[in-house]
Structure 1
Amino acid sequence: MSKLRLDRLQRFQRILAENGFDCYVAGTPISMGYLAGFFEGGGERMLALFIRPEGDPAMIVPSLSRTHAETTGVVDIRDWRDGEDPGELFEQLAKEWGLTTAVIGVDDEIPAAILLRMQTALPAALFKAAGDLMAEARISKEAEELAAMREAAQVAEKAFDAVLPLLRPEMTEHEVTLLLQKAMLDQGGQPTFCIVASGANGAEPHHSSDETPLREGDVLVVDWGCSVNHYLSDITRTIALGDPGQEAKDVYSVVLEAHLAARNAIRPGVPAEEIDAAARKVIEDAGFGDRFIHRTGHGIGMMGHEPPMIVRGNAKPLVEGQCFSVEPGIYLPGKFGVRIENIVTVTSAGHESLNGEPPRELTVVAV
């Protein structure tokens, strides 16, 4: 059965035509997977799906990937063996498609050696980074995509619920990370990342979990996610291991208010930056404006970070079906951090949270 998604392919072809592109080179598992159900990366080998504004696509693949490529339903598949130059296959395809002086878009993450080989083959063509076009095609999630993202969110939350009662002083951040990863696997998800940041480490938004032991009274920022059917979850919860004191509880209340203010501003047509502004105003009014040191959110789907970015300066209006994080935070160096993150999707009435609601008060784990 063909995996090629003609509806998505045709939508993307219209985007190429509207933006003046003669060809697009989809060379990442996400791009090829979205359009053709082909979630395989070539690494250093040339493996790509070639798309033009009209007509059927083509693939250039290593011979070891040909059988897999044939399941896509793409008819024009050209394979090469190790030791051969796949650039010659591209040269032939370019000749057939008339790409000598074409404008050719490429995935943002295509390997440099492969791009340079194509540029050598077509010195008069204009190659342009065009991952934003692929992101535009994927930006409004379909019902099946939302279903996978809801499931991924549920897997992540069930895993956290299973691990939370196990937390004890002297466990290390790394040990908690391993527990969460195993719990996500047990729930049927594929772990993609996990940050456990305790105490002062929580003031580093992208802390890399290490052997720091948990201490009684620590505030923990836990940021984790998994993949289900190629779609991702991403959630952050802030908890305390024993009583952390009033300051942490007060900061948590401010961040929660900012989180809810941002979500209350979500509806189709609202500029993305207004969501950021709503969260930022709450934190600034509380006197912590300089400690909110990142954007309020990022898009998510097959990629962990994709458009729309919920950040000052992004005036693009929200569109129904978009999915993104809402994750304001306050970070106090040498003390602790607090971040609260849910994934939401824009609906006609406002938004739907794919995660359960964050606790109204800082969760304190008894020790």
Structure 2
Amino acid sequence: MTGGTPAARFTADDYRARMARAVRSAADAGLAGLLVAPGPDLVWLTGYAPSADTERLTLLVLAPGRRPVLVVPALEAPDAEKAAGAPALTLRDWTDGQDPYAATAALLDGSGRLGVSDNTWALHLLGLQRALPGTSYAALTEALPLLRAVKDPAELELMAAAGAAADAAFEEIRTVRFAGRRESDVAADLDALLRRFGHSRVDFTIVASGPNGANPHHEAGDRVIRVGDMIVLDFGGLKDGYGSDTSRTVHVGAPTEEERRVHDLVREAQEAGFRAVRPGAACQDVDRAARAVIDGGGYGPYFIHRTGHGIGVTTHEPPYMIEGEEQPLLPGMCFSVEPGVYLPGRFGVRIEDIVTVTEDGGRRLNDTTREMVVVE
């Protein structure tokens, strides 16, 4: 297998509906409009991903009662015209020597609070502030944290395909030899497998062996894997524009009684977190359910991160499964459920699936075994 499920083809109507929904959400949040720079929000709203991230202003302007406008440098306008969402937009280009901020300001009322995509260059935000002195700004993650959170059926199909591709990579990696090889060697194998099964971008390939497993975000290094090591594998990226992210913990040779006990505890916690997923439950309920199992097993102080994060056109995005997050779960949301136990200087265990909220519960998008896997 070299590809996977073909990508759904989003149409101009799909992007038109997304932009209209974003404008409605902005109005409900008290925003006068949205300004979206190149990045995941722009791709999701328009299908346009500039080939170069330069100092020249590219900005989608969304405001109530106005047709969406994409401000682009003239030299990039031909590429913008080819974007799937272009028919739903008005393109307004500018050439070097012109003031793109004044051109953008003319598209807005000049007052009110505007939502700005998180990755907007400070250079551009300061230019907009000069051109629009009567406005104030809020980051989209703060103002509209759930803009992309609820996936439609076509998006869920792509999410499921990405999850299946990551699963295929795990089924292959568990058959390779671990002992005597460096973490970085196994990480390179994972990278190649994700690409083989259709990923266009690999965001991370964590291979954390032995004591390195106690660091949740350990980067694969030169440590040589040994017989007796517990190994946390956490890997993912983008396939057809949508994210995968899964973790499994394997063991080289026979595990000790304690290692098996901790692994079983994390597996039970992951199951409890998954069972807590249902429409109307708060995000924090998922975290509480998983954490209660680990607390009850006596390892509570060693579960040192949130239980989950949203995923979609990026591998980490809202909502977050963490204490204090009272946002209700909605059908179509996708996020990780990934409890862990990390014992400093010894080993770590993490088990992670991507889960989507259904009308009556949750559905896993990862289906590889959660039992202890012994590797060579």
Distance, in Å, in 2 between the alignment partners of 1:327 and 1:114 is: 37
**Matched residue, 2:155:** 145
- Any conservation in 1 of the 2:15–2:88 contact (CA below 8 Å)? no
**Matched residue, 2:185:** 175
Q: 1:84 aligns with which of 91, 97, 122?
A: 97
Q: 2:253 aligns with which of 238, 242, 248?
A: 242
- C-alpha change, 1:344 and 1:276, in structure 2 (3 Å) is same
**Matched residue, 1:63:** 74
**Matched residue, 1:73:** 87
Q: 1:188 aligns with which of 198, 205, 216?
A: 198
Corresponding position: 1:110 with 2:123: no
**Matched residue, 1:120:** 130
Distance, in Å, in 1 between the alignment partners of 2:12 and 2:313 is: 21
- C-alpha change, 1:188 and 1:96, in structure 2 (3 Å) is closer
Shift of 1:212: 0.8
Distance, in Å, in 1 between the alignment partners of 2:144 and 2:44 is: 9
Shift of 1:205: 0.1
Distance, in Å, in 2 between the alignment partners of 1:2 and 1:218 is: 51
What does the per-residue CA deviation read over 1:220-250, in whole Å, with 9 as the maximum and x for residues that have no partner? 0000012112100000000001123111111
Distance, in Å, in 1 between the alignment partners of 2:335 and 2:54 is: 29
Shift of 1:4: 6.5
Shift of 1:45: 2.4
- Any conservation in 1 of the 2:151–2:334 contact (CA below 8 Å)? yes
Shift of 1:52: 0.4
Shift of 1:3: 7.2
Distance, in Å, in 1 between the alignment partners of 2:180 and 2:262 is: 25
**Matched residue, 1:344:** 355
What does the per-residue CA deviation read over 1:66-122, in whole Å, with 9 as the maximum and x for residues that have no partner? 1121132255322234x435xx233133235322x2322101121111111111112
Shift of 1:251: 0.3
- C-alpha change, 1:169 and 1:357, in structure 2 (3 Å) is closer
Distance, in Å, in 2 between the alignment partners of 1:3 and 1:206 is: 40
- Any conservation in 1 of the 2:171–2:368 contact (CA below 8 Å)? no
**Amino acid of the residue matched to residue 179 of structure 1?**
D
**Amino acid of the residue matched to residue 191 of structure 2?**
Q
- Any conservation in 1 of the 2:39–2:119 contact (CA below 8 Å)? no
What does the per-residue CA deviation read over 1:131-150, in whole Å, with 9 as the maximum and x for residues that have no partner? 34554231111111111111
- C-alpha change, 1:198 and 1:96, in structure 2 (3 Å) is closer
Q: Percent of aligned pairs with the same residue?
A: 37
Corresponding position: 1:7 with 2:17: yes
SS where residue 39 of structure 1 aligns?
coil
* TM-score, normalisation: structure 1: 0.94
- C-alpha change, 1:64 and 1:44, in structure 2 (3 Å) is same
SS where residue 195 of structure 2 aligns?
helix
Shift of 1:44: 2.7
Distance, in Å, in 1 between the alignment partners of 2:42 and 2:277 is: 31
Distance, in Å, in 2 between the alignment partners of 1:75 and 1:281 is: 49
- Any conservation in 2 of the 1:32–1:49 contact (CA below 8 Å)? yes
**Matched residue, 2:4:** none
**Matched residue, 2:59:** 48
Distance, in Å, in 2 between the alignment partners of 1:170 and 1:216 is: 8
**Matched residue, 2:280:** 269
Distance, in Å, in 2 between the alignment partners of 1:75 and 1:16 is: 18
**Matched residue, 2:211:** 200
Distance, in Å, in 1 between the alignment partners of 2:302 and 2:333 is: 28
What does the per-residue CA deviation read over 1:188-221, in whole Å, with 9 as the maximum and x for residues that have no partner? 1122211110000000000011111110110000
* TM-score, normalisation: structure 2: 0.92
Structure 1 window deviating more from structure 2 (141-150 vs 33-42): it is 33-42
Q: 1:255 aligns with which of 260, 266, 272?
A: 266
Distance, in Å, in 1 between the alignment partners of 2:175 and 2:92 is: 54
Shift of 1:291: 0.2
Corresponding position: 1:17 with 2:27: yes
Distance, in Å, in 1 between the alignment partners of 2:304 and 2:30 is: 38
**Matched residue, 2:140:** 130
Q: 2:171 aligns with which of 149, 161, 165?
A: 161
**Amino acid of the residue matched to residue 347 of structure 2?**
F
What does the per-residue CA deviation read over 1:276-303, in whole Å, with 9 as the maximum and x for residues that have no partner? 1111111011110100000110111112
Distance, in Å, in 2 between the alignment partners of 1:98 and 1:249 is: 62
- Any conservation in 2 of the 1:103–1:127 contact (CA below 8 Å)? yes
